[in-house]
Amino acid sequence: MEFWMNEGKSVVITCGGRRYARCAIKTHFVQIGEDYLDLVRTYVLPRWQPGDLVSSSKKILALCQGRVVYKRDMKVSGLARFLSRFASHSSAGIGVDSP
């Protein structure tokens, strides 16, 4: 099987003295409420082999389960606004510097 990884990441990693080959699986842009098992059937099963381990991000599961909180619905305290000034900024998107 051909393995590939996100840019800047290593395909082979060592964890607990064992070596693992990781393969990033590209999907479509997952929408709120999609069926997680359908995603696995569509994108994972065609590549899966006996003995493989599968992991998924918590973000994908939350989207599929509809556990989304919109920024407009959040109540931000004055303390959160104040403390966010001292947090580091990430170019990857909203992070701890956003109250």
- Backbone φ and ψ for 17, nearest 5 degrees, come out as 80, 0
* Residue 95 forms part of a structural domain: no
- For residue 47, give its domain range: 31-84
Higher pLDDT, 84 or 63: 63
Question: What is the tally of structural domains in the chain?
Answer: 1
**pLDDT digits 0-9 by tens, 66-76:** 999 888 898 98
Determine which helix (DSSP H) or strand (DSSP E) holds 20, and give its type and residue range: strand 18-21
Determine which helix (DSSP H) or strand (DSSP E) holds 81, and give its type and residue range: helix 78-84
* Residue 56 forms part of a structural domain: yes
* Residue 48 forms part of a structural domain: yes
Other beta carbons less than 10 A from residue 49's beta carbon: 6
Give the confidence band of 97 by pLDDT, cuts at 50, 70, 90. Answer: low
* Residue 65 forms part of a structural domain: yes
Q: What is the pLDDT of residue 8?
A: 80
**pLDDT digits 0-9 by tens, 8-47:** 888 888 999 999 888 888 899 999 999 999 999 999 999 9
Distance (Å, rounded) from C-alpha 65 to C-alpha 59? 10
* Residue 35 forms part of a structural domain: yes
